[in-house]
Amino acid sequence: MGTSTVDWLWMGNQSALNSNTRTPPTDAEIQSVVGLTREGSKEIIPTKLTGTTYSSNSTRPGEWFLPKYHLQQKGVSAPDSVFDYTSPTTGQPVTNVTLNYFAVVQIDILTPDGTTSSYPAVVVQLSNGDIFLRPSAAARDALDQIKTLQKITVVSATGFVGNPRSC
């Protein structure tokens, strides 16, 4: 177990998307993020988070954040990934929040020039209700080229299949 600091996009706070945080989200809970739309700099806020990671010595080595339900399904007993960050709305420290929800999503990004582009990403919800968007590894280079976002909309969602690092 280690720690990693990441930059994700804060997209608001709402009640739990996963009604039982010790089991994977149901199909309906995964689909509940479809249509989630955020617009402007008050609704889409880059945020730096530091969290505990898990590593693997398997055929897919690396480190990643995982909710407890994923580890329990694999027969592994380990604590949740725990995050600390500065609240993007209050500027106050947020500490010891856990990862409760993951969904693989497709997002549409609208830029101020009117261009809309689609990218794979992950929606993450923490135990305090904060929702973050994490770009997929495959989309990071393209997203780094976008300097200003106008609007983000989640257009589809699925659960994780196989390796959660693949996104």
Consecutive sets of 10 residues in the chain, 167 residues long: mean pLDDT of each?
87 88 83 94 94 68 64 60 94 93 91 93 93 86 84 90 44
**127 belongs to a structural domain:** yes
Domain around 53: 2-161
Report the number of distinct structural domains present in the chain. 1
pLDDT of residue 145: 84
pTM as predicted = 0.85
**167 belongs to a structural domain:** no
d(CA 67, CA 71): 7
Residue 48 neighbours by CB under 8 Å, 6+ apart: 5, 6, 7, 85, 86
pLDDT of residue 114: 94
pLDDT of residue 90: 95
pLDDT of residue 24: 79
**166 belongs to a structural domain:** no
